[in-house]
């Protein structure tokens, strides 16, 4: 008996971002989730839900600092209109838009 990939349990959000010591929250029109289809490590990654015009999807955690934050991100969106953003307490740190392959973000 073989199971289809969709029958397998998907990773939790903390497993997908490889950090279960932090609490991850998701909100917005299409919450983030763990998945195994598009990854950098052939294991898993976090992904936002599908968004329409004027919608958003938020994934957040709290880090007590100072701290170095590093992650890889990728986006496929309408260039210059739909953005994947990294913020710190509401301050925009970095953003990408269009079709951008996995890119390292490293900030202190």
Q: Is the pLDDT score of 83 beyond 90?
A: yes
pLDDT value of residue 18: 96
SS3 content of the chain, % helix, strand, coil (to 5): 5, 40, 55
**4, 6, 63 from 1: Cα distances, Å:** 10, 15, 44
- H-helix or E-strand spanning residue 60: strand 57-60
Interval 33-62: pLDDT, tens: 999 999 999 999 999 999 999 999 999 999
Q: How far apart are CA 72 and CA 96, in angstroms?
A: 12
Mean pLDDT value of segment 94-106: 96
- The token pair at 102 is 């996995």
Cα 65 to Cα 22: distance, rounded to the nearest angstrom: 13
């Amino acid at each position: 008996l073989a199971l289809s990939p969709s029958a397998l349990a998907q990773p939790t959000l903390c497993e997908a971002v490889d950090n279960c010591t932090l609490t991850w929250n998701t909100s917005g029109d299409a919450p983030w989730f763990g998945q195994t289809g598009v990854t950098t490590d052939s294991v898993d990654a976090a992904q936002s839900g599908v968004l329409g015009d004027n919608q958003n999807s938020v994934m957040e955690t709290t880090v007590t600092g100072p701290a170095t934050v590093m992650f890889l991100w990728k986006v496929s969106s309408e260039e210059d209109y739909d953005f994947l953003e990294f913020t710190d307490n509401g301050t925009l740190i970095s953003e990408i838009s269009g079709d951008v392959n996995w890119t390292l973000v490293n900030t202190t």
